[in-house]
Chain A
Amino acid sequence: MTAEVDDQLWSAVGDPSRRRVLDLLVSNGEVSASWLAGHVPFSRQAVSKHLVVLEEAGLVTRRKQGKEVLYQVDARRLDQATHLMADLAARWDRRLATIKRIAEAAHAEAKKRR
């Protein structure tokens, strides 16, 4: 995966309001923008903007049903986001494990010399 794709994904989910929208979609399945607007403390206009960003990042898909447009989460893309996050965490776990090993060896060595 390229850094550019990562950035778009981070950008989409890094915003607390968008996470709120995403959260509602995750727990309620397919819903309309009006329904979402009734469940968040920001405007319908803001909801629409957030949905556009989420859609561009591939996290949300839309479908027309009669006069309504319904939105739902793309589980695969969301899964990708959680994996990216887990990868970054795993990278730091490896670094911390190495720091631990080096520091403990240095400390043991210093104690021996005492």
Chain B
Amino acid sequence: MSGLAIEREVLIEAPAEVVWRTITEPDQMSLWFADRVDLVIEPGAHGYMGFGDQGGPVVVEAVDRPTRFSFRWNHPPGEEPVVGNSMLVEFTLIPEGAERTRLRVVESGHELRDWPEAEKQRYADEHREGWGEFFDRLAGVVSERPSG
């Protein structure tokens, strides 16, 4: 797990195969993610996601039907998305019986885009702690303080 990661999950009353199609088929992706999705679901495939009149490139990383799907986005146009210039979105599908699936999403990379290369390397070498816990703790402290 990289440093600043958003991790969320949901329990869906449908088989993993159905959930898989919902998160990977471009016409379905356009229902929950971007307005326009041009994407081939193959590792390394370059595509495009449009949000209104804005949008940007997206690159598929892992495709392991029906359990794992990940892509990078939010990298500068014209650049190859790598660690440091983009965000990684990773979906994991965990079947719980024949008709129920736990869907987990982890989005990471937010903090890395502004870092000098040397710091990214140092960061990559270090052990990382969980983010959620840190922020939960801070949020508790902040709410106890006067905000003025």
Contact = CB atoms under 8 A, between A and B. Distances in A.
B63 interface: no
B9 A96 contact: yes
Nearest to A7: B114
B110 A99 contact: no
A15 B119 CA distance: 9
B10 to A, nearest CB: 4
A79 to B, nearest CB: 5
B21 interface: yes
Interface residues of A, number: 39
A100 B14 CA distance: 8
Nearest to A20: B129
B123 A95 contact: no
A107 interface: yes
Given A98-B31, A100-B10, A15 B103 contact: no
B112 A95 contact: no
Interface in A5-28: 6-8, 10-11, 13-17, 19, 22-23, 26-27
A106 B114 contact: no
A103 B19 contact: yes
Interface residues of B, number: 48
A82 B123 contact: no
A21 to B, nearest CB: 12
A96 B111 contact: no
B147 A75 contact: yes
A10 B4 contact: yes
Given A78-B138, A104-B14, A107-B13, A11 B32 contact: no
A96 B107 CA distance: 13
Interface string B11-41: 1111100110111000010011100000000
Interface of B: 3-4, 6, 8-15, 18-19, 21-23, 28, 31-33, 99, 101, 103, 105, 107, 110-115, 119, 123, 126-129, 131, 134-135, 137-139, 141-142, 145-147
8 contacts: A6-B110, A7-B110, A14-B123, A78-B138, A88-B6, A96-B105, A104-B13, A106-B14
Interface of A: 6-8, 10-11, 13-17, 19, 22-23, 26-27, 75-76, 78-79, 81-82, 85-86, 88-89, 92-93, 95-100, 102-104, 106-107, 110
